[in-house]
Homo-oligomer: A and B are copies of this chain.
Amino acid sequence: MPTITAEKLRQIAIDIFMAVGVPKNEARLVAEHLVEANLAGVDSHGVIRIPRYVRRIQQGRIRPGADIQVVRETSTTALINGNWGFGQVIALKAMNLAIKKAEEHGVGIVGVFNCNHIGRLAHYSTLALKHNMIGIILCNGPPLVAPFGGMDRILNTGPISVAVPAGREGPIVMDISTSVSSEGKIRTKRNMGKLVPDGWLLDKDGRPTNDPNALYEGGVILPLGGNVGYKGYALGLVVDVLGGALTGAGCASSEEYKGGNGVFIMVLNVANFTSVQDFKKRVDTLIRTIKTSRVAPGFNRILIPGEPEIQESIRRSKEGIPIDDETWRSITEIAKEVGVSISNQG
């Protein structure tokens, strides 16, 4: 398993994307996004995606340099037609627009349709932090999740990320799926030959299973909550409605849905509600109260959402990013195919 520096990985990604016709600014932006995910330890949304993105460009499904159009707009809301450009490019533009609106009018809400895979959601929500704003982003995607009590693939994994600025403490950065697991985690278990925990999957006949292969043989992921899975199911429905029905991307299980992500973004300007200083003091106190509370038997410590990713990011920035052999093989293969020499780099 090779360990590669973030800088080298970024350059490899840029070179590969540019070799298949991606404009330099977009190649950089997507490369930056993918490597940041690897740095955070979220390898499922990192450079593992490069070969898939290249194939989609070659198939015409990702259209680099696409014209991203704001098709509806008010002072606080906007709807964006991504015209099937790179999801990362579209979502970044949408997030920046929401921040601008929140800066001027206290809140910014932006919906996005015709948009490819946008990657790791925390990448966007955290952009609001330096503006002293709360960043919220959620999206729908391919149907993989059963409604509570059902066994068909109706909902998507319903990811939501919320980033909350703190004062002296690190920010709170939630980035979760509203199903019991993301697809990426189940794929990782499968690739490593491991079982999934109880309560994650049903096989194609609706029977509970620990075999991750079941998902790829007609099985389905369960909504968050176990015996109260109606809660994760309801959250997943809301994500599908906001990401799919409100934006026009289409709900995950509908004929209208054409792949990629229907995206819903919301940015709240803290200063519009309370003093930024007071707000940050409250968040700091909340974080410190959690940090000084008693740890339950069976646990080592209590983490703040986003904390593991920040710690991993610091570590991998120093020590490099471990890339599993299969991912590295597929990246070097696609590099060779498009005429990029990896060994000469970095």
Contact = CB atoms under 8 A, between A and B. Distances in A.
Interface string A209-253: 000000000000000111110111111011011101111101101
A168 interface: no
Interface stretch (A20-28, A35-43, A85-93, A103-111): A103-111
Nearest to A297: B206
A295 interface: yes
A172 B239 CA distance: 12
B234 A299 contact: no
Contacts of A235: 174, 176, 235
B206 A176 contact: no
A199 B228 CA distance: 10
A246 B297 CA distance: 33
Contact of A149 (B150, B224, B250, B303): B303
Given A225-B224, A234-B305, A297-B207, A278 B149 contact: no
Contact of A105 (B75, B225, B289): B75
A294 B254 contact: no
A341 B295 CA distance: 52
Given A77-B107, A251-B285, 5 more contacts: A146-B296, A154-B290, A230-B303, A240-B286, A248-B278
Interface string A279-300: 1001101100110011111011
Contact of A286 (B74, B79, B253, B286): B253
21 contacts: A72-B273, A74-B105, A76-B107, A134-B241, A147-B290, A147-B302, A150-B294, A162-B234, A172-B237, A172-B241, A199-B226, A206-B297, A224-B231, A230-B305, A237-B286, A241-B282, A245-B274, A245-B282, A251-B289, A254-B286, A256-B282
A75 to B, nearest CB: 7
A128 to B, nearest CB: 13
Contacts of A50: none
Best-buried of A147, A197, A202, A247 by chain B (most CB within 10 Å) = A147
A32 interface: no
A199 to B, nearest CB: 7
Nearest to A176: B231
Given A233-B305, A273-B72, A289-B154, A279 B149 contact: no
